[in-house]
Structure 1
């Protein structure tokens, strides 16, 4: 009985270790997903960066892409370091469990050997048959028989448990060896990633040095950009004002209602006996999809184009010109040549215009919300067209040597930061 208690205690120890391993596996899965996402971002920005570096002259777009890649590379180094530390924790857990198991297994084997020794000594004095037939009654004979049967079975089970634990120890040793190899590989990978980071920072310094020599040119570009942004603000404000003052309902809805009215009049002449059927028109709703309205889709809007945020919402320092501030009513997303720009939500195309410095601009209405897609090379939609989520609006245009769009979200006349509205990549 005492021996069985020790077996049970050992199994409890093993279950505790398995639970700790499960928690470590959860951390491992989360880390691996982060690493995968980071590698995808690095690959995406690398393609964009390669496009900008094909240009004859350095550009603000290139410096933004390098800055983004430096951030990604630093994140990569951080994740590799986390991986090394996690492996260290895993190895410590393995070593601790291995030491405990080895000690307990040694004790179990020692006790099992003593039990066999005592049994062999007793068996020389009294055989099993002698033990049985020395019973004083049939009932006692039966009880002694059951005892011998259980004793033999318990001994077999104890041996099975000892072998099982020994096998688990061998597996732990293999896992520990694998972890050591993985840790060494990651240490070497970390050295390479640090070298890659140094190369990026050297490139950043060279591009900044080159751009600083073209200060007047950059200032001229900035003034041109400010004028384009001012024109865009005026345009969107006028479009929203016109929509609110001259249209109680969107044009597409009005046209649908007019068509239905004409159809109803025609049908009433031939089917006067039929009761009138009323239909409800739903504008800018998404009942067949996950979100019922634009506001409910916050944090889950799809990206208008593949790429990275090259300029964030609000006021910040110019990436090159010292002491110069730049303002953005939305976000700029740098992308690849020929990248498709898509609607982030279903709605109605309210306006399509051309603005010097921002090429084609598409404005889409989603009830009281509006999304704006500026600097499009081509446009695939028309005014008053209803569009679906992810429907292609056109392609991204080039700006000062790199491809980039400006994306804005307005709530009535308030300009919102689009970044929190987009799904995390």
Structure 2
């Protein structure tokens, strides 16, 4: 019975530690990266607006080239931030996979222990068998321990049953979180590809602007 109790305490501590680490550290990193991403997107949005205004004149200017260079720098920083987001999600996925593995292991142990308890309770389901088990002790101390064992047995079975339910629920929640993490990663990778395409377009625009400016300089 002491083994079961120690296992219960260990399991509860494990859940608390994993839940705290998983939610606190990952969330802080996610919020920070999201904040950086938002700032860069605002910078890019503003420079895009300025570029659109310079294009209205249909004349390539030095100002347009400067704006393009800045936008490319911001876009590259945005890509770096998004890559960090992907890595952060990967870390969360790995952590959740480890938690799921641990929860599955603990759930199996809890169910095995509970099955043993149910079997023992079945074998000693009547008062006569309980008394025989107690009187079969080799000495008074062992008899007393067996008596206390029966007194506490019902409560331990109840705790074990509650832990099985709690573990199963925690497992289901973590699996849902894992699926959400994987979906988030897919969306980030899709956005990352789109941003890379925009970056390539901006670099092509920059190259074209440089060529036009060089051509103008030669004509002067």
In 2, the alpha carbon distance for the partners of 1:66 and 1:79 equals 20
Q: Secondary structure at the match of 1:56?
A: coil
Unmatched tracts of structure 1, length 5 or more:
133-142, 219-425
Aligned to 2:141: none
TM superposition score normalised by structure 1: 0.46
1:59 aligns with 2:53: no
- Distance of 1:155 and 1:118 partners within structure 2: 11
Report if the CA contact (8 A) 2:75-2:199 is conserved.
yes
The answer to whether structure 1 residue 113 and structure 2 residue 112 are counterparts is: no
Sort the Cα spacing of 1:182 and 1:17 in 2 relative to 1 into closer, same or farther, 3 A: same
Report Cα offsets for 1:25-56 as digits up to 9, x if no partner: 11111111111111111111111111111123
Distance verdict in 2 for CA 1:53–1:214, change over 3 Å: same
Q: How far has the Cα of 1:127 moved from its partner?
A: 6.3
> 1:128, CA displacement in angstroms?
7.0
Secondary structure at the aligned position of 1:208 is classed as helix
Conservation of the 8 A alpha-carbon contact between 2:60 and 2:209: yes
Which of structures 1 and 2 has the bigger CA Rg? 1
Once the two structures are superposed, the pairs formed by residues 374-385 of structure 1 within 5 Å of their partners are none
Report the counterpart of residue 17 of structure 2 in structure 1.
Answer: 16
Cα deviations by residue, 1:52-106 (Å, 9 ceiling, x for unpaired):
1112311111001111111111112111211111111111111111111111110
Structure 1 equivalent of residue 97 of structure 2: 95
Q: Is the 8 A contact 2:124 2:130 kept in 1?
A: no
1:209 to 190, 208, 211: 211
Q: Which residue of 2 aligns with 1:162?
A: 164
SS at 2:60 equivalent: coil
Could you report, residue by residue, the CA deviation over 1:158-187 in whole angstroms, capped at 9, with x for unpaired residues? 211110111000011111111111111222
Tell me the CA shift for residue 130 of structure 1: 9.6
Aligned to 1:36: 38
> Which sections of structure 2, spanning at least 5 residues, go unmatched?
135-144
In 1: Cα distance, 2:26 partner to 2:197 partner: 30
Matches within 5 A, 1:227-376: none
Deviations 1:364-386 (A, max 9, x none): xxxxxxxxxxxxxxxxxxxxxxx
State the alpha-carbon separation in 1 of the partners of residues 190 and 154 from structure 2.
Answer: 55
Q: CA deviation at 1:209?
A: 0.8
Question: Is the helix fraction higher in 1 or 2?
Answer: 2
- Number of the residue aligned with 1:195: 197
The residue matched to 2:44 in structure 1 has which SS?
helix
Q: When the two structures are aligned, how many residues end up with a matched partner?
A: 208
Q: TM-score, normalised by structure 2?
A: 0.85
Distance 1:6 1:46, change over 3 A: same
Cα RMSD of the aligned pairs, angstroms, is: 2.6
Check whether the contact 2:117–2:157 (CA below 8 A) recurs between aligned residues: no
Please, which of 170, 173, 176 is the counterpart of residue 178 of structure 2? 176
Deviation at 1:193, TM superposition (A): 0.9
Following superposition, the deviation at residue 124 of structure 1 comes to: 4.4
How far does the alpha carbon of each residue in 1:183-219 deviate from its partner, in whole angstroms, 9 at most, with x for none? 112222111111101110111111111111222789x
Whose strand proportion is higher, 1 or 2? 1
* Greater mean deviation of Cα atoms: 146-155 or 80-89: 146-155
In the alignment, the residues of structure 2 paired with residue 144 and residue 86 of structure 1 have an alpha-carbon distance, to the nearest angstrom, of 52
